[in-house]
Amino acid sequence: MSEYVVELKNATKRFPGVVALRGMHLAVKPGEILGLIGENGAGKSTLIKVLTGVHQPDEGEIYVNGEKKVFRNPNESAAAGIACVYQELNIEKLLSITDNIFINKWIKGPNGLLDYKTMHQKAKEVMASLGQDVDPTKPAGTFGMGVQQMIEIAKAVLIDAKMIIMDEPSSSLGEKEVEQLMKTCRELKSRGIGIVYVSHKLEELFELCDRVTVIRDGEYIWTKPVNETDNDDLIAGMVGRTLENQFPKEFGTKGECALKVEDLQEGGVLFGVNFEAYNGQILGFAGLVGAGRTETMRAVFGADPIDGGRVYIHGKEVHIKSPGQAIKEGIAFLTEDRKGQGLVLAQSIRTNLILANLKGFSKGLFLDEKKIEEEGQKNISSLRIKTPSIDEIVGQLSGGNQQKVVIGKWVNTDASIFIFDEPTRGIDVGAKVEVYNVMNSLVKAGKCVIMISSEMPEILGMSDRVVVMRGGKVMATVDRDSKHFNQEDIMKAAWGGTLDD
């Protein structure tokens, strides 16, 4: 009997113009949680697709419980007991929880019809085993991201998975949902199921994992017990260098008020929001999930209608009714949902980089192909977008590189106010530093940057001032040189407490 439930040996995978994996190793023990980390573009997605039968390796072998396997498609991988909960959940929101769990695995009665009574019962039982007391007959879309993720995990449990890969499972979850996820992972571990936990959040790896594997540029670097490594060791392994400062804050010169919001109202969502954002500064927005931070920016950007309040840009009152009008007023909005709202995944990097400023890349009635090529290559170089060429389809890029393309798209506009909503969610520490450096360059150029972030170290590391929100209201505004510019006081305000003067 093999020591490992799943083992990948010497795997190499080539695509036109790039070697995605080279001599890759991965080994997971039964009842073990193995962390997997690497920079965006390091090969994590390709590795997952090889293990799940989406891609076939050009070289190397896969073993399940010591038996060599060849997966020609995802069904064969699933039949061998390998399941994956992807970062982008594969949920049909209009279908019931039961239908989502049993899709393609239907239970039929003696009459040949679907036995929904049995399926509803089993769905309720498997969801309850994952800590979810839900009605399985209700549409999956009526539940939050935490429950939807448990539906995906339930699918894996139902096929009696020997190993479950979790790809950035906490990236879209709130604090309580993350706690439930951790509890579920430990429960699955106690059942002898192996878990590959892919995450850029190092604190999660130390809290949850037994061992951690580091990969870089498509190659295996090392595997160590978690208690024999630390943050600096992991970062050095991932990027091949140490990151002396994870938050390379550079200070611009505070200029005029670029954006002023007074008494912003949106029925049931925003209640008298007030704030000011200045040129040459980063204004951070902190708060718990559901605090109203994104809703505030969507209202300012004209994506959602407002019921009252005033918005001033460079001292002039504006009445923005649509995102197109906001862009004309010089506002750029890098949304949290990069795939759904920030990119056209089926188009090339070249096309995506000019989408927000087609006029600026035109010469008369035609596009200026020379300018598009020159500026695109500058974006690829300055943002360190890992791609075979500027004509690569964006949907083929890793999550972090997709995020960089979104940033490049907005950098290529004439915007003076840049709103970044969770700009580093789901990207690695090396890519994060590159995003911070883009913010630094904008600030030094006298632009105004607004950053929404759920990561407190990021808020404290990069902000000049912080607006703290809760329940659609501003609870506090804290300057960098204030005595309240610390995690404890900002979290106190986020939970509804008041800060003394």
Beta-strand pair 211-216/33-37: parallel
The CB-side HSE value for 328 (13 A sphere, CA atoms) comes to 9
Which positions ≥6 away from 49 have C-beta within 8 Å? 55
Tell me whether strands 194-198 and 33-37 are parallel, antiparallel or unpaired.
parallel
CA 27 – CA 42 distance, rounded (Å): 18
Residue 154 pLDDT:
92
> CA-CA distance, 299 to 105, in Å (whole number)?
43
User: Quick check: 200 and 427 in contact, CB under 8 A?
Assistant: yes
DSSP letter for 340, please. Answer: I
Q: Which residues contact 367 (CB under 8 A, 6 or more apart)?
A: 354, 358, 361
Length of the chain: 501
Q: Could you tell me the CA-to-CA distances from 92 to 100, 140, 148, 244, 374 in Å, in that order?
A: 7, 7, 10, 44, 41
pLDDT digits over 145-198, tens only?
A: 889 989 999 988 888 899 999 998 887 777 788 888 899 999 999 999 999 999
Please write the tens of the pLDDT for every residue from 328-343. 999 999 887 767 777 8
Question: How wide is the angle at C-alpha 447 spanned by C-alphas 253 and 332, nearest 5°?
Answer: 160
8-state DSSP, 361: G
User: Looking at residue 333, what is its pLDDT?
Assistant: 92
Q: How far apart are CA 90 and CA 152, in angstroms?
A: 7
Task: For residue 413, give both structure tokens.
Answer: 């506009």
Which residues lie below 8 Å from residue 368, measured CB to CB, with a gap of 6+? 361, 362
Which residue intervals of 330-428 are DSSP H helices? 349-352, 369-382, 399-411
* pLDDT attached to residue 254: 94
- Please report, as a single letter, which amino acid is at residue 184: T
**Rounded to the nearest 5°, which phi and psi values hold at 8?**
-110, 125
Return the SS3 of 138.
coil
Distance CA(380)–CA(400), nearest Å, equals 13
**How much is the pLDDT for 440?**
93
Place of tokens 């390998």: 82
Q: Using an 8 Å Cβ cutoff, are 334 and 402 in contact?
A: no
Pairwise CA distance, residues 385 & 133, whole Å: 43
Task: Provide the pLDDT for residue 178.
Answer: 85
Give buried/exposed letters for 144-179 (b at 16+ CB in 10 A, else e). eebbbbbbbbbbbbeeebbbbbbbbbbbbbbeebbe
Q: How far apart are CA 454 and CA 443, in angstroms?
A: 21
Q: In this predicted structure, what is the pLDDT of residue 313?
A: 97
Two tokens, residue 315: 């001292």
Each residue's pLDDT, cut to its tens digit, for the chain (501 residues) gives 679 999 999 999 998 777 889 999 999 999 999 999 987 678 898 999 999 999 999 999 999 999 999 999 999 999 999 999 987 788 899 999 999 999 888 999 888 899 999 999 999 999 998 889 999 999 999 998 889 989 999 988 888 899 999 998 887 777 788 888 899 999 999 999 999 999 888 889 999 999 999 998 899 999 999 999 988 888 788 877 655 567 889 999 999 999 999 999 998 899 999 999 999 999 999 987 778 999 999 999 999 999 999 999 999 999 999 999 999 999 999 887 767 777 888 899 999 998 888 888 888 888 888 898 888 898 888 887 888 889 999 988 877 788 889 888 888 887 899 999 998 877 777 778 888 988 998 999 999 999 999 888 899 999 999 999 999 999 999 999 999 999 888 988 888 888 876
pLDDT given at position 242? 57
Q: What is the greatest pairwise CA distance in the chain?
A: 76
Q: Cα angle vertex 216, ends 211, 217, to 5°?
A: 150
First to last CA, the chain: 66
**Please, what sign has the CA dihedral across residues 257, 262, 266, 271?**
positive
Distance CA 78, CA 289 (A): 34
CA distance 272 to 261: 9
pLDDT in tens, 295-328: 999 999 999 999 999 999 999 999 999 999 999 9
Alpha carbon separation from 489 to 71, 86, 331, 477, 479 (Å, rounded): 53, 35, 31, 11, 12
